[in-house]
Structure 1
């Protein structure tokens, strides 16, 4: 597997030239294939051409770490299969990008770190195997905040990814490579991971949809870990319908991640059954006021959120203001987050699954390599300082507080008869490139409780010279455990009422298409 630069196929004839690639959906792609106006080869070629045009030149988004050199060959095989059988599986020939902390047996998995350059997992992550089993074509691996430890998507191996809506801003993190790639139409769908904010922050910053599932719905096995208490994996897409289709494939029991046994009995036949345009009607939605910013830097987000809340009301939702100062996310991050206590044991256990030829087999090896981005040093050294973080009194105290938080949030929703609650995922807009701290994010609430949440585009900040269409703002919906069907209903209803997503100006349609 090779790095992107200079290794993409040359442009060729596209049988699906009349097909509209920009913001194409899974369903739209499959309809075009069934009608004979699109082939798998032409679809993949068009995405490869966009990567070539925009990832390392032009706006130079720097979203991709690797591109699959066998993508066109695999597309041809899928075209032959479709011609022979006439059958299309749920993700047949859907070009998919993976955050580069998902194990792939046919390409390196490095978590964006030069300390793991060339590391080759022995097998695909469970979720990757499920995607492939259902027909997905893995187009490549995306950049991320190194080891998924931060919110601005910069890594020692991949460098800095840019936000396609404002090239001077970061794309959020840690799954910002996937988000920038999807916003720029480099692929149809993608994956991310989330320990505190990392699926939902880049979705918010790139006018996308992401689902952080209930803890136990999606396997984390084969994904470079941070915290077994807080880690989760999920889809990032341009629409709620595509996210629901991805969740159909990703959800399920995996013996390698025993917590997924809790999902038994909680997975519907298909999440697409809950794509209801009138889904907000009668829903009782709480607005968590403590999760809104009060400073001047927060006012653009607050303006967009005010409009979003008005849309909830106009589309039949019953909106209930909830003060809940105990849910203040600054306090939750400071007092309950357990990443630094769990990291050493988590990463050491993961690295032990690699072959003896892997460049690092422990946190000590990573630190001693001297090959990590400077933004990680404080966290890595803090995690290393614990002989066994799992035995720390402070860690055990935090676990007790996390359990209490779950009860408090469930009780808050029960007392107020809420079907879901909403708030801005980020109180302020994404930070400029060069800053390493994306502050004022609200993702920790779902990360600690394990309750499901979905971020969906809410609108845009005011346009500027650098962001001619504005910078995206995402609204987050949180629900009770296993309420993904209901959250999909509400977010789809909101999406269809607002049509808030806009494509970035920096990566327009290519003239030849």
Structure 2
């Protein structure tokens, strides 16, 4: 057998169920790889080796007793350091919460544990998730496995880097403006932001109550579907979750997109792109045509100015959450984040306009999805930039890292629709490029079907970084 850590979740699950691979063997392989590569990559900020081996041993005991919890039984995973873990520090990549030990798990962590998953540890994040680089002044920068001098994206950069480097078989991240899909795109893996209300955020340190989403990062679309299956569902502890049935996501994974209509919102997503990103995305769209889908241009239904306006709501919510900490220990924040959080709040009329613009974006995206089944666009304007490079350049234009990497993902957070990033190519420098698909609310099956069909027709997901 190949290195067990290089298996996908689906491959490992089959081997575990057939008793060809023991959960302890798989877990040790991941821990060995973490010990070898994490000092350089800094994907994990906390490795719970003892807990992981205990989880794996328990999974083996259950198998011997005839208990099989499902496809995540014995599968090693990592959690972004925003997810509460009982008895294990959850600090949100900050100095403010350093030493914070929750008494109970986040809802999604509980569901993974009940599905039989093995917890390897906590993955690095931008400070309090406020950034797109995971260049964290408190925990150190996470490095992209494809080029350790480059960023992995953020804020779930540790989760993305851990998957790309085969340190874990699956990870969970959070996504307020793109923080699952950006690391997936820059690290060459799959990142799924479900519909707002599909996955509970209870026990996850918030950035925005209105726009936070929890979801998986994995090597393949099938793996992402398996992780989503385990964590999706109504939770009375999260006011945003909706009591609608959870479908069988793996059943949707058929490599057939004939009859699907894919809309391309060029007006807001193709205006400023690295040429290699543009070529890769256009080739991906042509692949969908070849597979039998209809691909047509559509109007996004919103403007860039409306996105900027609506994003002010996140800043306002951030001020509310952080106010007591800023009052008690402002020096514990990085200067960058402190300056963001201490910006003067918008005037009441400007705040009302931000709310109105967020509704207009939601209306525009959902109206576009009335005429097509999916929207397709680049995930980011460019491949990964160098660590510490800010601003960055896109076609001669200087942009902040936030603008360069979150401008194309943010609208789907504001609209609350499900979106996925899948690998669609590499730059001439060997850096991954991501394609983004979005679907109607709670239509993850169609989203996964299309992503799976594209994945089956290409080999981007099979490539591994030169570690």
1:476 aligned residue (416, 422, 436):
436
Once residues 472 and 40 of structure 1 are traced to their aligned partners in structure 2, the CA distance between those partners, rounded to angstroms, is: 31
Once residues 170 and 94 of structure 2 are traced to their aligned partners in structure 1, the CA distance between those partners, rounded to angstroms, is: 24
In the alignment, structure 1 residue 275 sits paired with structure 2 residue 259: no
2:225 aligned residue (218, 236, 244):
244
In the alignment, structure 1 residue 52 sits paired with structure 2 residue 35: yes
The superposition leaves residues 62-108 of structure 1 with CA deviations (integer Å, 9 ceiling, x where unpaired) of 11100013122332222122112252433111101000011111210
Aligned 1:380-419 pairs, distance under 5 A: 380-382=341-343, 385-386=344-345, 392-414=348-370, 417-419=371-373
Greater alpha carbon shift after TM alignment, 281-290 vs 88-97: 88-97
The superposition leaves residues 436-478 of structure 1 with CA deviations (integer Å, 9 ceiling, x where unpaired) of 542333111111110111111111111x3xxxxx111111111
1:327 corresponds in structure 2 to 302
- Residue aligned with 1:109, SS: coil
1:158 corresponds in structure 2 to 139
1:487 corresponds in structure 2 to 447
Once residues 217 and 88 of structure 1 are traced to their aligned partners in structure 2, the CA distance between those partners, rounded to angstroms, is: 22
The superposition leaves residues 238-262 of structure 1 with CA deviations (integer Å, 9 ceiling, x where unpaired) of 11111111111111111111111x2
Once residues 266 and 490 of structure 1 are traced to their aligned partners in structure 2, the CA distance between those partners, rounded to angstroms, is: 21
1:184 aligned residue (150, 153, 165):
165
1:41 corresponds in structure 2 to 24
1:265 aligned residue (244, 262, 268):
244
Once residues 119 and 306 of structure 2 are traced to their aligned partners in structure 1, the CA distance between those partners, rounded to angstroms, is: 37
- TM-fit CA distance, 1:116: 1.5
Once residues 133 and 49 of structure 1 are traced to their aligned partners in structure 2, the CA distance between those partners, rounded to angstroms, is: 25
Greater alpha carbon shift after TM alignment, 236-245 vs 332-341: 332-341
2:395 corresponds in structure 1 to none
2:458 corresponds in structure 1 to 498
In the alignment, structure 1 residue 314 sits paired with structure 2 residue 297: no
Once residues 23 and 341 of structure 1 are traced to their aligned partners in structure 2, the CA distance between those partners, rounded to angstroms, is: 42
Q: Is the 8 A contact 1:293 1:299 kept in 2?
A: no
Once residues 38 and 161 of structure 2 are traced to their aligned partners in structure 1, the CA distance between those partners, rounded to angstroms, is: 10
Unaligned runs of 5+ in 1: 1-17, 349-360, 465-469, 508-513
Once residues 80 and 449 of structure 2 are traced to their aligned partners in structure 1, the CA distance between those partners, rounded to angstroms, is: 27
2:188 corresponds in structure 1 to 207
The superposition leaves residues 84-142 of structure 1 with CA deviations (integer Å, 9 ceiling, x where unpaired) of 22524331111010000111112100011122111111211111111111111111001
TM-score (norm 2): 0.92
Greater alpha carbon shift after TM alignment, 205-214 vs 405-414: 405-414
Work out the number of aligned pairs and report it.
453
- Residue aligned with 1:362, SS: helix
- Residue aligned with 1:190, SS: strand
Aligned 1:273-312 pairs, distance under 5 A: 273-278=251-256, 280-294=257-271, 298-312=274-288
1:193 aligned residue (146, 169, 174):
174
Q: Is the 8 A contact 2:96 2:325 kept in 1?
A: no
Greater alpha carbon shift after TM alignment, 434-443 vs 311-320: 434-443
The superposition leaves residues 398-440 of structure 1 with CA deviations (integer Å, 9 ceiling, x where unpaired) of 11221122222222232xx201110001011222100354233
TM-score (norm 1): 0.84
2:393 corresponds in structure 1 to none
1:432 corresponds in structure 2 to 386
Q: Is the 8 A contact 2:234 2:244 kept in 1?
A: no
